[in-house]
Structure 1
Amino acid sequence: MRMFRNAMLFTTLFAVAACVTVNIYFPTQQVDKTAEQIVDQVYGIEQPEGGNGDVPEQNGGSSSIRDAFRMVAGYFGPAVAHAQDATTVSNPAIRQLKNQIAANHNQLKPYYEKGAVKIGKDGMLVVANTSGLSVAEQAELKRLVRADNQARSSLYNEVAKALDISQSEVGKIKDIFAKHWREKAPASWLQ
């Protein structure tokens, strides 16, 4: 009898564990598309016609039917933990940071042309060669670089929040953005 009870307990625990499916993934394509669009906007690269700067929402059918199905599946299906399905990666904080980085970029352009600021391998800005700059210009350059790097870090954190990505994976977001910051920049801007 005791062996039967233990077998039943084991079977019950196994069945419960089998019903819980944890599917955690990193939405590489969403982050890549978001990074590409934001970098294009900051650098002033033309968007495809109809592009508004936000990643467009995919419409795979009626959203009300899809939402109803997800609600029912949530009650009866296995529990699934994953990054957010929405493909629109924009919110007021992301738009504000993107605009701030774009404004910084416009102020930094003369410094890029002089070789005073470069884009590092991590996608962050670094002060490079300040010879030929006045003390006031050097101070302004350092202020702009610091502000821009802080805005970039904040942007990566906001993208992680918008996509429900854990803080431990913000480095992946930074790497994806770094690839776009560097690929779309002139070679003379790179460190």
Structure 2
Amino acid sequence: MRIFRNAMVFTTLFAVAACVTVNIYFPTQKVDQAAEKIVDQVYGIEQPDSEAPETKDDSSSLSRMFEVVADCFGPTAAYAQDATTVSNPAIRELKNQIAANHQQLKPYYDAGAVKIGTDGMLTIANTSGLSVAQQAELKRLVRADNSARNSLYSEVAKALGIAQSEVGKVKDIFAKHWRDKAPAAWLQ
């Protein structure tokens, strides 16, 4: 009888703990989707007009039942923010600024004067053949673009409810997209 009572107490405590457990996670998928969309727009890569709506297979009512039970009794996840799009006036302005910089930087990319580093930030690689005025303009553009990128990462984090201490993760995700979608000659 004592073992049964202890088992019941343990089971009750476990059930109560499961009800109040909250898993806070970094919304990697949302940041990844935002980064891909923004980088595509800056680079001028065509995007599909709309994604095909998800179709749900209702053939398995048993699996749906397990989902409902898990939702009721399992731990719940606290999402940073359930945003379907990551856009606000500040993000749009920064994206437009980076896109405008990109158009001005494109000849420098093509000439090998500027490269995209592993952190997704721009670096000046080779200024030979550039006049003093062109070198000054290149430095100004790189500085402005890197500043806008850092501000963009902070704004995306803010829009998704991500702590500012996690902006480095946002930057890493963007860096992957900046590099993956750029021609190899643009990479450092």
Q: Same fold (TM over 0.5)?
A: yes
Which residue does 1:109 correspond to in 2?
Answer: 106
In 2, Cα distance between the equivalents of 1:16 and 1:157? 37
1:82 partner amino acid = Y
Which residue does 2:159 correspond to in 1?
Answer: 162
Is 2:34 the partner of 1:34? yes
Deviation at 1:21, TM superposition (A): 2.9
Q: Indicate conservation of the 8 Å contact 1:125/1:145, yes or no.
A: yes
In 2, Cα distance between the equivalents of 1:42 and 1:154? 15
State the secondary structure of the residue aligned to 1:98.
Answer: helix
1:171 pairs, out of 168, 173, 177, with: 168
In 2, Cα distance between the equivalents of 1:152 and 1:87? 22
Tell me the alpha carbon deviations over residues 24-48 of structure 1, each in whole angstroms, 9 at most, x when there is no partner.
Answer: 1111111111100100000000011
Let me know the Cα RMSD of the aligned residues: 2.9
State the secondary structure of the residue aligned to 1:100.
Answer: helix
Q: Indicate conservation of the 8 Å contact 1:115/1:129, yes or no.
A: yes
Is 2:110 the partner of 1:143? no
Deviation at 1:18, TM superposition (A): 6.2
In 2, Cα distance between the equivalents of 1:15 and 1:120? 49
Tell me the alpha carbon deviations over residues 116-167 of structure 1, each in whole angstroms, 9 at most, x when there is no partner.
Answer: 0000000000011000000000000000000000000000000000100111
State the secondary structure of the residue aligned to 1:23.
Answer: strand
In 2, Cα distance between the equivalents of 1:130 and 1:20? 59
Taking a change above 3 Å as real, the CA distance of residues 79 and 47 of structure 1, as seen in their structure-2 partners, is closer
Taking a change above 3 Å as real, the CA distance of residues 84 and 116 of structure 1, as seen in their structure-2 partners, is same
The alignment's TM-score, normalised by the length of structure 1, stands at: 0.75
Which residue does 1:97 correspond to in 2?
Answer: 94
Tell me the alpha carbon deviations over residues 68-126 of structure 1, each in whole angstroms, 9 at most, x when there is no partner.
Answer: xxxxxxxxxx9964310122111111000000000000000010011000000000000
Which residue does 1:189 correspond to in 2?
Answer: 186
Point out the more displaced range, 135-144 or 83-92: 83-92
Q: Indicate conservation of the 8 Å contact 1:20/1:80, yes or no.
A: no
Taking a change above 3 Å as real, the CA distance of residues 34 and 110 of structure 1, as seen in their structure-2 partners, is same
Q: Indicate conservation of the 8 Å contact 1:32/1:177, yes or no.
A: yes
Point out the more displaced range, 96-105 or 79-88: 79-88
State the secondary structure of the residue aligned to 2:22.
Answer: coil
Could you list the runs of 5+ residues in structure 2 that have no partner in the other structure?
Answer: 1-13, 57-74
Deviation at 1:15, TM superposition (A): 9.4
In 2, Cα distance between the equivalents of 1:48 and 1:80? 31
